[in-house]
Amino acid sequence: MVNEVVNEVIGSELRAWRGKRGISRLELSRMTGIGHRSILRYEEGEREASAAQVVLICTALDVPLVTFYGRVSDELAAASQSPRSAADIAASFGI
């Protein structure tokens, strides 16, 4: 469950902030050295981004790292206090 929540939150934040900054996946790929297909898979929650990759992404998007991981922490805390499934948590993010 933890990995699913982490992947969904990181993907959701990545997609949202990339959109807010008006940066395409290809542009972000060039800025970070991370493949554009990997970025797509992170956004879809299909692949786990390493901490180093999240740092690169946050730096490129000019977003504090705590923005991504703070939300992960909040969602994991909420999940541990209620019997919500990973699918319910993902749905709350519009995924």
Domain positions in the chain are 2-86
Q: Which residues contact 93 (CB under 8 A, 6 or more apart)?
A: 8, 9, 12
Model confidence pLDDT, tens digit, residues 21-46: 999 999 999 999 999 999 999 999 89
According to the model, what pLDDT value does residue 2 have?
Answer: 76
Q: What's this model's pTM, rounded to 2 decimal places?
A: 0.75
User: What is the token pair recorded at 39?
Assistant: 């970025």
User: What is the token pair recorded at 73?
Assistant: 């922490």
CA distance 74 to 55: 19
CATH architecture of the domain with range 2-86 = Orthogonal Bundle (1.10)
Round the CA-based radius of gyration of the chain to a whole number and report it: 13
Task: Quote the mean pLDDT of the chain.
Answer: 86
User: What is the token pair recorded at 43?
Assistant: 């956004």
What percentage of the chain carries pLDDT values higher than 70? 83
